[in-house]
Chain A
Amino acid sequence: MQSGNTKFIWELLNTVPDPEIPVISVVELGVIREVKFEDNSYTISITPTYSGCPAVKTFMDDIKSCLLENSIENFELKIVYAPAWTTEWMTDETKEKLRKYGIAPPSNIVICPQCNSKNTTLISEFGATACKSLFKCVDCLEPFEFFKCI
């Protein structure tokens, strides 16, 4: 185990869901920046989404339990601030998962996740979590959440 199995750690982390949006994992969210193996220990670098996002504490605890359940005990979680988290790190596949879940994924054009209409209007820049704002579809009239571009 001199080199460690960082690939296995990434796979485990990919099973830890975002506590607010359980259809995507913390890896897909883009908050896991690096997994390093040095001096017989893993260092996992994590960057917060929003400075005050309460989900950060929750998913750090979830990551710890996930690793411990898989008998990984030699690890340390480290918070890093640079580069600052951006929704640009999200893959198309992740965005599609958000859309299917009913959240309009980050994009320059806000498309209704229900009827795909581009005819949408902002209700409030702030939503139920720091990362989302509230929109309404002008065509199907459904309100929905939009994952802010940041």
Chain B
Amino acid sequence: MSSLFTYTLRIADSSLILGQRMSEWCSKSPTLEEDIAMSNISLDMFGQANGFYQYAAQLDGLKSADELAFRRNEREFFNHQLVEQENGNFGNSIVRNFLHDTFNFLFYTQLANSKDETLSALAIKSLKEVKYHLRHSSNWLVRLGDGTEESNAKTQVALNELWMYTDEIFEMDALDTELFNEGIAVDNSALKSDWDTMVNNTLEKAKLTRPEDEYMATGGKKGLHTEYLGFILSEMQYLQRAYPNAKW
């Protein structure tokens, strides 16, 4: 497996898993407009994942994009642990998405300058969509945080619970560093200060308190996950596992 293949797969995995989580809101969102919004964002995430999987499949030459998505096990997925966290109440999902959308916005802005033409093109494309996603989750965060006493309290709890997953998104392992030195990958750690500024500004508007960094989770890049990923995969991959190569 080449480093570029693994790097591409990591990006695809985070998009796919967040897309799958968002799709769980379909028909269950608080209002019709929100149902449409969540489903639309989910589709964007699947589309972005597809672009990166297609590229990974082309680099690898062994597995198709569908095989990469539907025939790998939990330990072979490299998504951020943040995106696999449960939807919970609407506030939990909004906080999770806001934290990740802010990262995605900064990440794709940098990946757009990648020397790898395909990664750069996919980043420019994804960025256009991520701007909408970030606006959506930021607006909701302010509405919930600066809403009623109850919505503020629930959103603050969500933020406190999810905070431990916000450290690993900035990690750089040997593979990241190798590709960053070649001008291909993004220096994730360099995104942290802009992420802090953006997150702090929105939290302030939302009248929410930024949690302290305590125990911070890690492992997504190594294929280590929280208990939720297995459940996501067992549902998402069921059809292709039970009826291999089934087509619409």
Contacts and interface: CB of A to CB of B under 8 A. Distances in A.
B129 interface: yes
**Size category, B interface:** 20 to 34
Q: Is the interface of A mostly helix, strand, loop or mixed?
A: loop
A50 B47 contact: yes
B200 interface: no
Interface in B107-125: 117-118, 120-122, 124-125
Interface string B71-105: 00000000000000000000000000000000000
B122 A81 contact: yes
A128 B39 CA distance: 10
Interface residues of A, number: 22
A74 interface: no
Interface stretch (A14-22, A23-31, A105-113, A119-127): A119-127
Interface string A72-114: 0000000011111100000000000000000000000000000
B117 to A, nearest CB: 7
Interface of A: 48, 50-54, 80-85, 123-128, 130, 134, 148, 150
15 contacts: A51-B46, A52-B42, A52-B48, A53-B47, A81-B124, A82-B120, A82-B124, A123-B33, A125-B135, A125-B136, A126-B41, A127-B36, A128-B36, A130-B40, A130-B43
